[in-house]
Amino acid sequence: MRALGATAANAWQVSAEAVSLLRPARPARPITLAASPQRLTLDLARTALVVIDMQNDFCHPAGWLAGIGVDIAPARTPIAPLRTLLPVLREASVPVVWVNWGNRPDRLNLPPGVLHVYDPTGEGRGLGARLPGQDGGVLEAASWNAAIVEELSPPPGDITVAKYRMSGFWDTELDSILRNLRVDTLLFAGVNVDQCVFCTLTDAACLGYDVVLLEDCAATTSPGFCAQATVYNVRQCFGFTTRSTDLLAGIAA
């Protein structure tokens, strides 16, 4: 019998004479950690980390947001805790999934409503724009602009997914990948917590995933009350919040 599947977690066993639909057994690896609104126990064997939009155009001093006058200091605050957390999760065999804007150069899959969010006056400083000093378009696939910031540059074992909406689930392969990984619980990090992180998290919850927001690994350039409302709504309506320090303590224990 030979394994047939995109991942070891979701594979059949096949031969010329027979097929086994039994997936490989995975022993549970439970950890308990401080969280809100309640203490949380989760299974590391069925957990993945989803990091959203930690890209040059959002988080680098030479990127798009900084170039149009946005204070990107808040968007850079997840970098340090993620640099501490990521190696531990990888060592624990927790998949790391990077979900980032990576638009087509012709923008043919982007409706006016999405373009308007970033270019409300139609002056051409939004998605796909060629700004002074930049070779690629804003958040354009395969450009420096859309690349993950150097401090978090992922190793080959991580997974990357390009998105084209505030939510990472619309018109992407994200759900298919997570199903193939056979994960139930998603940890969320990235920017902006009140926009793309929250939209992706709420869609995940509606799809039946358990969702946990890592508060210190998520941030926004929006006013502070936006982050406060997001944390409240995650706890009230969708799942749980915790901090990377509490997650690390749970893994260490």
Catalytic residue numbers read 53, 163, 196
> In terms of C-beta density within 10 A (0-12 exposed, 13-18 middle, 19 or more buried), how is residue 87 classed?
exposed
Task: Look at strands 240-242 and 210-219 and give their pairing.
Answer: parallel
Peptide bond between residue 156 and the one before it cis (omega within 30 degrees of 0): no
Q: Is 50 left (phi over 0), alpha (psi -120 to 50) or beta?
A: beta
CB 172 within 8 A of CB 160: no
Collapsing DSSP to helix, strand or coil, 83 comes out as helix
Q: Give the angle subtended at the CA of 45 by the CAs of 43 and 46, to the nearest 5°.
A: 70
Say if residues 131 and 138 touch (Cβ distance below 8 Å): yes
User: What pairs with residue 160 in β-bridges?
Assistant: 98
CA distance 126 to 244: 33
Helix intervals (H) in the chain = 56-59, 64-67, 73-76, 79-91, 112-118, 174-181, 198-206, 224-233, 244-252
